[in-house]
Amino acid sequence: MQLYLLAHNPTDSVSEGFLPAAAALGLDVTVLTDQPEAHRRRHPDIRALDCDVRSLPAIVTAISGAHAPDAVFSNSDHLQTQTALAAAYFGLPHKDWRATLRVKNKVEMRRFLAAAGLDTVWSRELRAGDELAPLAEIDIPFPCVVKPAEGVASEDVVLAGGRAELLARCAEIRLRRPEATLIVEEYLPGELHTLETLGDGRRRHVLGGFRTTLSPPPHFIELRHTFVHAHPEPVVAQVLSQLDALGVGFGSCHTEFVVDQERARLIEVNYRAIGDQCDLLLAQLLGIPLFEHILRTHLGEPLPDDLGARTDGAARIDHICAPGSGTLTAAPESLDAVVDGVRLAYRPLRAIGARHDLRHTNRDYVGVLRAAGTDSDAVARVAESFLAAQRWEVLP
């Protein structure tokens, strides 16, 4: 059976999750990508075809000129709508392209939820070329957040405490992203959580979620994810009702939300599996072939009524950020170990000698630590001990 996997750059989710899952299912994989050499370097045996994966005609042409497809799939935030339309073109199982489009664009998601009467968040859209001057005149609830309408990885997501700061933040982002549409919206207070779901269009499984620890404002860098086996039922029900309204229910979905006074409010919906190695941790913790299940849905196979997921796991994942701009001169090597019943997996994300300028986003990560066990106190203790014993050094 032939799987076409659409991607930009190589990711851990694809390399350590979906490609091994495809091999386990006996699938023949072709990667369609605008970065074929990067994929070939990481996976010398993979078939990677050069393709403008942002273009539906280019995708259809590439597939039509090769082996007949049995599934078209992507785990990229940027490619869900193109993937859904391409799969639909070939008569294959797919996400609703209208849902992928409305959740990718944060402006459209806010409009849709407000029109459905589910949640109204004060927001204003700033298209490329729009003047910033009107922001000095309108009534804005401060503090507020400004971010790209289709951004990822916390890039250019900042908190503004007042009007002058907001205008300055917007101007800074415009310099870096002159073509981007921005959204200015009210700050939603509350603890940040995620909900991870998997569906086949008929049934949906809630896989649990994470409690997210963020960096201090004004930026929103995700520093830690602590596994939560089950959020309170009323909270889950609120999140799922909003996902239903948005049309989300096929394949994997990673939803970020805050809870304030028992009210769940969506921050963003990522219609794919959670990334930054949290998906790898989730599969390990639940003890299920998560990536195979996801691919099976795109092959048209129904999910079982019971995934057989374990419920006794405790875990957290720590994302280590560079302490400053410059060249990485010291950092720990890759490690797998078991300490006091806790499985540790540390992976460096940047090579010694690599230079990087801080961007105040998830792109600043230099390493990631996964810790999993059955006792949350032991997991926290072992993870903290490991981190305290390591050194990450950056020289200007």
The 3-state secondary structure of 222-279 reads EEEEEEECCCCHHHHHHHHHHHHHHCCCEEEEEEEEEEECCEEEEEEEECCCCCCCHH
The domain spans of the chain are: 2-94, 122-186, 191-395
pLDDT attached to residue 325: 95
What topology is assigned to 122-186 in CATH? Answer: Dna Ligase; domain 1 (3.30.1490)
pLDDT attached to residue 88: 98
Cis check: omega of the bond before 234, within 30 degrees of 0? no
pLDDT digits (tens, 9 = 90+) for 161-178: 999 999 999 999 999 899
Look at residues 111, 148, 82, 92 and name the one whose alpha carbon lies nearest to residue 245. 111
The model's confidence at residue 153, banded by pLDDT at 50, 70 and 90, is confident
pLDDT tens digit sequence for 276-325 = 999 999 999 999 999 999 999 999 999 999 999 999 999 999 999 999 99
Class of domain 191-395: alpha beta
Q: Quick one: which of 107, 57, 52, 80 has its CA closest to 273?
A: 80
Q: What are phi and psi of 155, to 5 degrees?
A: -70, 125
pLDDT, tens digit (0-9, with 9 covering 90-100), for 213-252: 999 999 999 999 999 999 999 999 999 999 999 999 999 9
Quote the mean pLDDT of the chain.
96
What is the model's pLDDT at position 136?
85
| CATH number, domain 2-94 | 3.40.50.20
361 in Cβ contact with 221 (< 8 Å): yes
Question: pTM for this one?
Answer: 0.95
Are the CB atoms for 185 and 123 separated by under 8 Å?
A: yes
Could you tell me the pLDDT band of residue 335, with boundaries at 50, 70 and 90? very high
Could you tell me if 194 and 274 are in contact, meaning their C-beta atoms sit under 8 angstroms apart? Answer: yes
Return the percentage of the chain with pLDDT > 90, whole number.
93
- Residue 384: CB partners within 8 Å, gap ≥ 6? none
Helix, strand, coil tally for the chain in percent (to 5): 30, 30, 35
- DSSP annotation of 299 reads T
* Per-residue pLDDT reduced to its tens digit, 11-26: 999 999 999 999 999 9
β-bridge partners, 25: none
pLDDT digits (tens, 9 = 90+) for 92-137: 999 999 999 999 999 999 999 999 999 999 999 999 988 888 888 8
Q: 82, 55 in Cβ contact below 8 A?
A: yes
On whether the CB atoms of residues 74 and 270 are closer than 8 A, the answer is no
